[in-house]
Structure formats: C-alpha cells, structure tokens
Amino acid sequence: MPISNSKLLLFCGPSGSGKTTIVRHLIKTFPELSFSVSATTRSKRQNEVDGVDYYFLSVDEFHKKIENEEFLEWEEVYENGFYGTLRSEIDRIAALGKVAIFDVDVEGGIHIKGRFGKNLLDVFVKPPSINDLHHRLVARASETTDSLDKRILKAELELTYAHRFNHVIINKDLNVAFAEAEKLVRAFLQK
Ligand code: 5GP
C-alpha cells in the first residue's frame, strides 16, 4: 500500500511535555500501533536501547544518511543534536501491517503534517505551564544545566505553534491525558 494511503499518528510537543509517555501508553493499549524509531546523534540515556528507543548514530553517520536521502524529515533539534525519521521505518511498519506512530519535535511534526495530510491524526501535547515543564525536566534528571536551558528556551517557542495542530492535549494529569489520547486514537482507527 502506498505510504500516503496508510493511517499515521503524530504526537508533537516540547521536550518534557510527556508526549513520549503518552505514546508508550498508546502502543501498549493499541496492538495495531508501532513506534517509528527515529535516528539521533544525542547520547544514549541509561534506560534506552539502541534500535528500540532510537537508532543512535554518530554525526558523520547521520550526515551520510542525509546525503543518501534516507530521511523523510530531519532536524537539528539542538546544536549538534540531530534527529530524523527514516523512510525505512515507514516501510518496516507498513510491512508489519501496522499503523506508525511518530514522536517528533514541533518542526518535524509540521513537516510530517505537510507530507501526509488527511491520513494523519496529529496531536500537540502541551504542558500546563513552562514552570511545570521545567520541574519535569529537572525531575527526569536526564539533562545537564546547559541542555535543560536549551530545552526550556526551545519549548517557549514550540508552544506558540500549538494552534497549527488539529488536536491539543494539555498534560496536567497523566491519566486524564491518557484517556483523551485513547479516545482520539480509537475514533481515528475506527474511521
Ligand atoms: P529527546 O532527546 O528528549 O529524546 O528528544 C528531543 C526532541 O526531539 C523531542 O521533542 C523529540 O520528540 C524530538 N524527536 C525525536 N525524534 C525525532 C525525529 O525523528 N524528528 C524530529 N524532528 N524530532 C524528533
């Protein structure tokens, strides 16, 4: 089936908004979904697995893939922190007969929206406030002070793009956010 005829799910929002947690929950809830594993040049966190959470690449390897046009979209999300969706992921997931679910930054999300249009469920996940986002990123303890500051600065800009997405979930209470996301996905998959 051509890519454009497959249903796809897109979750965007600032780092620390909780979108990855929501995406993981949806994958457990709906067996027909399959996570689109992105490539990145950032270093692996302790709990992450190569090929499951991300394909961890060197900057050189990432640039080779850009040259070979292997990405559907890619962004330098942070300075020297490249992230991208591989075309091969879409084929891999289509071959499984599953629906791809993307967890990307806001710029990447806007690209994917432009590319797939009508077969896409697009959701922007918003933290209740920047202050709240700051607390979450500190609690996650995955960032250095420099990286944390960069993420907060970027989040302020990203929040101004929420209106470009068809659905917005405010992640104040995770269980409420899960329920809202499930409702959207169930309706979309049944269409
Ligand atoms: P993290 O380093 O926290 O895993 O991710 C940082 C940001 O990069 C998050 O907003 C995440 O959604 C985004 N991201 C992950 N994969 C991709 C991708 O393939 N493309 C783009 N544009 N952003 C991505």
- pLDDT tens for 93-125 read 999 999 999 999 999 999 999 988 789 999 999
At position 71, the amino acid (one-letter code) is F
- Does residue 133 have its Cβ closer than 6 Å to ligand 1? no
Whole-number Å distance, alpha carbon 72 to ligand 1 midpoint, is 14
Band of residue 137 on the pLDDT scale cut at 50, 70, 90:
confident
Residue range 144-155: mean pLDDT, rounded: 84
Tell me which of 78 and 73 has the higher pLDDT. 73
For the CA of 111, the nearest atom of ligand 1: 22
Q: Which residues contact 13 (CB under 8 A, 6 or more apart)?
A: 19, 106, 124, 125, 126, 127, 158
pLDDT at 145 over 50: yes
Find the helix packing angle between 174-190 and 19-29, rounded to 10°. Answer: 50
For the CA of 15, the nearest atom of ligand 1: 10
Q: How many CB atoms lie within 10 A of CB 39?
A: 21
Whole-number Å distance, alpha carbon 36 to ligand 1 midpoint, is 11
pLDDT at 1 over 60: no
For the CA of 13, the nearest atom of ligand 1: 10
Q: What is the pTM of this model?
A: 0.91
pLDDT at 181 over 50: yes
How far is 151 from 156, CA to CA, in rounded Å? 9
- pLDDT tens for 37-49 read 999 999 999 999 9
Band of residue 144 on the pLDDT scale cut at 50, 70, 90:
confident
